[in-house]
Amino acid sequence: MDTLASLLHMSPAVAWMVVKIVIVFSAVMILASVWTWVERRGSAMIQDRIGPNRAAIFGRIRIIGLQQLLADGIKFFFKEDLAPTDANKALFWLAPFLAFVPALMGFAVIPFGRSFTSGGHVYHLSVLDPGNGMGMLYPLAIGGLAVYGVLVAAWSSNNKWAILGGMRSSAAMVSYEIGMSLSVVALFMTTGGYDPSEIIAAQGHLPWHWNVVPHFLGFIVFFTCMFAETNRLPFDFAEGESEIVAGFNTEYGSMKFSLLALAEYAHLMTASALIATLYFGGWQVPFVANPTVALSITSFVLKLVFFAWVFVWIRWTLPRFRYDQLMHLGWKVMLPLSMVNLVFHAWRMSQGH
Amino acid sequence: MGVVVKKVELSWLDRTYVWPVMKGMGITFNHFIKQLFTRTSKRYTIQYPDMKKEMPAGYRGLHELKRFEDGAIKCVACFMCAEACPARCISIEAEEFSDLNITQGFEEKRPQVFKIDMLRCIYCGMCEEACPKDAIWLRNDYEVAAYDRLSMQYGKWDLMNTYAEADGKERITQDPMPSAPRRAIAM
């Protein structure tokens, strides 16, 4: 690392930061784009269909349809990129980035592997080192920003279906944010800190000590709210073919549309990383007290991929909610449940557990 | 008189909503695993250009004009099929044939032109029903398509050879010269 840094005329800290950013964000982006394929192929398998398997390089080499990603990308790239006449052009162009950037940024504080020491330096495997003072508040705040992407996309299109979709999804996001935050607050209380590395360290390597066991109610609430946060299917009120055409991205096409679609999957990756970190021990390997760095990274990636798959799985299992049912669930079920969870853990701590 | 709709009473477990979701996920996961480990040939979806559906007996697909073993057409140009055709897609021109047969005291009719306009045909099978000689069959080929309209006009030789490869018969492009009467006439 030091030789690489001196070759590039950078300080080792900066070089390490650049390497981390490149690895983390490219990994998340690749995973997000692969997940568009997983979604289509997985949903096909769940519904006894086959799914996209015919895209092939030179019409010959098919790797179970993975080239579909490439084909889609090329197709989106060469589509005409137009904005409606009456749209607010600046915001219309800005919206996909407003959706995509927060979805990626949420990943910055999440440790994806064990910290290690090499040559007197301590290397932390998260883009922002632990102890930065933001901790878990950062991904939650950034997650709150994600609503701007949807809302700006909807508003700038100057389309009534788009604005309806945007309003619905922002209302859903805002109302689920409260339940989610309260369930995470209970977790902060029992951990005694809000830094993700502290939370992971407090969970230990035994699966029954992971937060999902004592905080099961909080986990259910957090998990459900993550679906509303990412606008995924049981709660995908930004879209809805039968009601509001394509919702907030009705007017979008070409690369801007693909960026909006990718933002959803990047958000999904961040959400599964959050679930893995908060409730399933992050990079902790079950039953291995001091895992090697590679093993801890593998463990984290496996957990992340599993929860990302659960997002897809649930999408193709559950029907959509009606809008009033969504609000009912958010305000009258999830919020009280997370409060009960908070009060229960506060009482438990006051009893000296 | 109204219908009394009976409300389904959900059990306590069902009302938590978590357990039914898990059950539903179990069902979808079963489907996922089953489909994932089913060979492509056993799946419900038929991957069309690579795999083709085996049509059931009695399927009404592309027509075939049947022939005798020596390659002579079975059709006697009676116009029954053309009359029965609701789409009016069959056009026949008849001819007499076989000098040999004339010397033996009878003559036969056969179509000189037998044309089916496949663009008009509705594959109803009425021609097959009407035929007194079982000379026209609708069989299992469903891939009737072409790049231009003219190729969809199937003539006599097209129709006689439609299933030549499938049945392992040779393609014929002209009527055989009968060397002997095909059947003995009961005098």
Q: What rounded mean pLDDT belongs to chain A?
A: 84
In chain A, helix, strand, coil percent, each to 5? 65, 0, 30
Residue keyed to tokens 């009482």: A347
Task: Evaluate whether residue A282 is within a structural domain.
Answer: yes
Task: Evaluate whether residue A285 is within a structural domain.
Answer: yes
What distance lies between CA A121 and its chain's CA centroid?
Answer: 31
CATH topology of domain B63-167: Alpha-Beta Plaits (3.30.70)
Half-sphere exposure of A284 (CA within 13 A, CB side): 26
DSSP for A215-251, written as a single string: THHHHHHHHHHHHHHTT-GGG-TT--HHHHTTGGGTT
Domain extents for chain B?
10-53, 63-167
Q: Is A49 on the interface with B (CB under 8 A)?
A: yes
Number of domains, chain A: 1
CB pairs under 8 A between A and B: 39
Task: Evaluate whether residue A47 is within a structural domain.
Answer: no
Q: Is B155 on the interface with A (CB under 8 A)?
A: no
A121-137 residue pLDDT tens: 777 788 777 877 888 88
**Chain A neighbors of B35, CB-CB under 8 A:** 44-46, 48-49
Q: Is A45 on the interface with B (CB under 8 A)?
A: yes
Task: Evaluate whether residue A153 is within a structural domain.
Answer: yes
DSSP for A256-318, written as a single string: HHHHHHHHHHHHHHHHHHHHHHHHS-TTPPTT-SS--HHHHHHHHHHHHHHHHHHHHHHHTTS
Task: Evaluate whether residue A304 is within a structural domain.
Answer: yes
Query: Is the pLDDT confidence value at A99 over 80?
Result: yes
Residue A245 burial class via C-beta count within 10 angstroms: exposed 0-12, middle 13-18, buried 19 and up: middle
Q: Is A90 on the interface with B (CB under 8 A)?
A: no
Alpha helices in A47-126 (DSSP H): 68-78, 89-105
For residue A213, the enclosing domain spans 79-350
Q: Do A314 and B21 touch (CB under 8 A)?
A: yes
Predicted pLDDT at B187: 47
Task: Evaluate whether residue A41 is within a structural domain.
Answer: no
CA dist A67 and A81 (Å) reads 23
Q: Do A317 and B27 touch (CB under 8 A)?
A: yes
Residues 6+ apart with CB under 8 A from A153: A92, A95, A96, A98, A99, A162, A166, A248, A249, A252, A260
Total count of residues recorded for chain B: 187
Predicted pLDDT at B74: 85
Using pLDDT thresholds of 50, 70 and 90, give the confidence band for residue A1: low
CA dist A95 and A261 (Å) reads 12
Task: Evaluate whether residue A269 is within a structural domain.
Answer: yes
What is the ipTM for the molecules in this complex?
A: 0.78
Chain A stretch 256-315, residues whose beta carbon is closer than 8 A to a beta carbon of chain B:
313-314
Which residues of chain B fall below pLDDT 50? 102, 184-187
Chain B stretch 43-62, residues whose beta carbon is closer than 8 A to a beta carbon of chain A:
43-45, 47
B117-135 residue pLDDT tens: 999 999 999 999 999 888 8
Q: Do A317 and B31 touch (CB under 8 A)?
A: no
Q: Is A220 on the interface with B (CB under 8 A)?
A: yes
Q: Is A318 on the interface with B (CB under 8 A)?
A: yes
Cβ proximity of A272 and A311 under 8 Å: yes
What distance lies between CA A279 and its chain's CA centroid?
Answer: 15
Give the nearest chain A residue to B21 (CA atoms): A318
Across the interface, which of A48, A49, A313 has its CB nearest the CB of B25? A313
Task: Evaluate whether residue A3 is within a structural domain.
Answer: no
CA dist B45 and B41 (Å) reads 9
> Residue range A156-163: average pLDDT?
86
What is the bridge-based pairing of β-strands B108-117 and B153-154? Answer: antiparallel
